[in-house]
Amino acid sequence: MQQDTATMAAQIAAGDRRALARAITLVESARADHRAGALALLGALGSGRQALRIGLSGTPGVGKSTFIEAFGLMLTGQGLKVAVLAVDPSSARSGGSILGDKTRMEQLSRHPMAFIRPSPSQAQMGGVARRTREAVALCEAAGFDVVLIETVGVGQSETVVAELCDLFLLLLAPAGGDELQGVKRGIMEMADLILVNKADGDLKPAAMRTQADYAGALRLLRRRPQDPEGYPRALCVSAVEQSGLEAAWAEMQHLADWRRSHGHWTTRRADQARHWFGEEVRQGLLAALTREPAKGIMARLGERVAAGEVTPESAAAEMLGLLGRG
């Protein structure tokens, strides 16, 4: 195992995309032996390299895949290596990805400086696969300059993505109506840039109006300490016409550079590491409930609750007491 780990780590560090794909499969596996191998691999690679991590969310049909392909091709044209982790909805039958984003980014998937990996969300809250953070670390170790993380959609995803990324982008369609009303405030508080896509053809005037509406709304929000003056902001882009992409990239670079120079970058990365440590502990405790002897105790207490012999609260307190002694 140690020899295999060392070999794979060396291949990943050398930029071998096949080794990177195998490593991501390893970290996504739920098998105990694979998990041990994944931890060993991550330890061997370390955390010396850093990429710009960009999270991307948006309503279905807004053109996330089209935008990512156009944006990714622009970045590779500038000599940057780009990795895309597209978190797809999971099939309830097989557990695999449903949408297959890789097939919808045909040009980018063939580019020698790009790597696309669709991963099933496996019912994780926010549409972010549980091991996406480790996949990001693997892409960084492989020398990628930019890692794009596309989520299933809007909702809890912006909160989860914020714990993974350096920048969070929200992609909107022009004249989208009121479908975002329920989450608009939370989105604007989390987003670093709002990009109104499809700003072309007959939709261009509507896109400009939408951009102006969001720009006005953003000015009403309290300024965040991690932002320079004028951020977050809203911009118009067209993935089809490839317009506005360079301006959006310039804004991302400016924001990232400002956060680095003012100490927010390092602090945020440290806070994210602390968050994922706690998340791993919580997930480990939940997993322990699915194994014996906890599983059997839970089943017996559940039967007593169903029979009315004990209240759910009392049974939970007894279970937690047993876990505490264990």
Name the band, by pLDDT with cuts 50, 70 and 90, for residue 326: low
Look at the block and give the residue holding tokens 């709304």. 217
Q: Which pLDDT score, from 0 to 100, does residue 183 have?
A: 44
For 225-242, what is the mean pLDDT?
92
Q: Which pLDDT score, from 0 to 100, does residue 88 have?
A: 59
* Of the listed ranges 84-88, 92-96, 173-177, 205-209, the one predicted with least confidence: 92-96
Torsion of CA 118, 119, 121, 122, to 10 degrees: 140
Return the DSSP state at 11. H
Residue 154 has pLDDT above 90, yes or no: no
Name the band, by pLDDT with cuts 50, 70 and 90, for residue 285: confident
Query: At a CB cut-off of 8 Å and minimum separation 6, what does 79 contact?
Result: 113
Separation CA 20–CA 289 (nearest Å): 32
Name the band, by pLDDT with cuts 50, 70 and 90, for residue 218: confident
Residue 123 has pLDDT above 50, yes or no: no
Residue 310 has pLDDT above 50, yes or no: yes
The beta-strand segments (E) located in the chain are 52-58, 82-88, 114-120, 146-150, 167-172, 193-196, 233-236
Q: Which pLDDT score, from 0 to 100, does residue 94 have?
A: 40
Residue 96 has pLDDT above 70, yes or no: no
Q: Which pLDDT score, from 0 to 100, does residue 178 have?
A: 46
Residue 92 has pLDDT above 70, yes or no: no
Q: Cβ–Cβ contacts within 10 Å for residue 267, how many?
A: 13
Find out whether 58 and 120 touch, Cβ atoms under 8 Å: no
Mean pLDDT of the chain: 85
Residues above pLDDT 70, as percent of the chain: 83
For 125-133, what is the mean pLDDT?
61
Name the band, by pLDDT with cuts 50, 70 and 90, for residue 270: very high
Residue 181 has pLDDT above 50, yes or no: no
Residue 179 has pLDDT above 50, yes or no: no
More confident residue, 181 or 225: 225
More confident residue, 36 or 2: 36
Name the band, by pLDDT with cuts 50, 70 and 90, for residue 59: confident
For 297-317, what is the mean pLDDT?
95
More confident residue, 311 or 118: 311
Residue 177 has pLDDT above 90, yes or no: no
